[in-house]
Amino acid sequence: MLVGKVIGSIVSTRKNENLIGSKFMIVEPLSVMKNDAERIVAVDNVGAGIGEIVLVAVGSAARIGCNMADSPVDAAIVGIVDSGVGLSL
């Protein structure tokens, strides 16, 4: 799991049928160790908005975390951070 900031959204009218109705957000991981953190696209089932700090499950945990076991998902927003000790919010 990683912590990141939602920096945008993506609209896709043509997609895998298992992804119909899904909202996609661009997330920039917060990284203390490196300055070149890559942005990822994550399915959002919790209603995150641009500018919010979120928890992102990656890999097979992403599909389980958003109840999309049969979908081609490898990143999913599973929580919105309210506060955190040591985070640069």
Number of domains in the chain: 1
- Tell me how far apart the alpha carbons of residues 2 and 43 are, in angstroms, rounded to a whole number: 14
Residues 55-83 pLDDT 10s: 999 988 888 777 777 888 899 999 999 98
Q: Is residue 71 part of a domain?
A: yes
Note the pTM of the prediction, 2 decimals: 0.83
Identity (one letter) of the amino acid at 76?
A
Report helix, strand or coil for 63.
Answer: helix
Residues 16-25 pLDDT 10s: 888 888 999 9
Q: Is residue 70 part of a domain?
A: yes
Mean pLDDT of the chain: 86
Q: Is residue 19 part of a domain?
A: yes
The domain that holds 10 is classified in CATH as: 2.40.50.220
The pLDDT of residue 53: 95
The pLDDT of residue 25: 97
- Tell me how far apart the alpha carbons of residues 31 and 38 are, in angstroms, rounded to a whole number: 10
Domain of 10 in residue numbering reads as 2-80
76: how many CB neighbours lie within 10 A of its CB?
27
Strands (E), the chain: 2-10, 23-29, 40-44, 53-58, 75-80
- Tell me how far apart the alpha carbons of residues 45 and 27 are, in angstroms, rounded to a whole number: 14
Q: Is residue 14 part of a domain?
A: yes
The pLDDT of residue 28: 94
| Percentage of the chain lying above the pLDDT 90 cut | 51
How large is the average pLDDT for residues 15-38?
81
Q: Is residue 86 part of a domain?
A: no
